[in-house]
Amino acid sequence: MNAALLFDFTVNKETKTITIKREFDAGLDLVWEAWTNPEILERWIAPKPWRAKTKTMDFREGGYWHYAMIGPQGEKHWSRYDYQKIEPLKSIVELRAFSDENGMVSPDFPRTNCSNVFTEADGKTLVVVTAEYGSLEVLEYMVTHGFKEGMEASLGNLDGLLEMLKKG
């Protein structure tokens, strides 16, 4: 991760939210494409040595992204993001959940409301991700089970990928 780029990870127990502010040295169009194109998204979203594989992506309001995080021994952890609201090149609001391989949402873990807001200034793009959890217990689980480290690694992957994509 480029140390000169903003990375702020804030936990607010009162509102049961985690807010991540992350700056990228790339224009808004490219960062948006990396966030919304499954072929590009798969290349950065999983912290190494994990990888991501999309089963379904229907990027529209009412659509969803269903994918697996695949571990080094081939183990799969499925997730589903249901798109609630999309403002192209501005924001994505999604309802996140763990799921099974058929996309059925797990009843054992409450869904997470998540907003992703994109702004550009001086050739750099700021993405603000706000995840709102259904309970303090789930928020604390995320904080103590590597969510920050995983996001740092994933967003660092995106830094490298954006550099490659800018060069063509």
CATH value at residue 65: 3.30.530.20
Q: What is the model's pLDDT at position 35?
A: 97
Domain housing 77:
7-167
Residue 1 inside a domain? The answer is no
Residue 158 inside a domain? The answer is yes
Low-confidence ranges of the chain (pLDDT < 70): 1-3
Q: What is the model's pLDDT at position 68?
A: 98
Residue 83 inside a domain? The answer is yes
Residue 95 inside a domain? The answer is yes
Tell me what percent of the chain is helix, strand and coil, each rounded to the nearest 5.
25, 40, 35
Q: What is the model's pLDDT at position 2?
A: 59
C-alpha–C-alpha distance, residues 3 and 25, integer Å: 11
Residue 43 inside a domain? The answer is yes
Total number of domains in the chain = 1
Q: What is the model's pLDDT at position 168?
A: 78
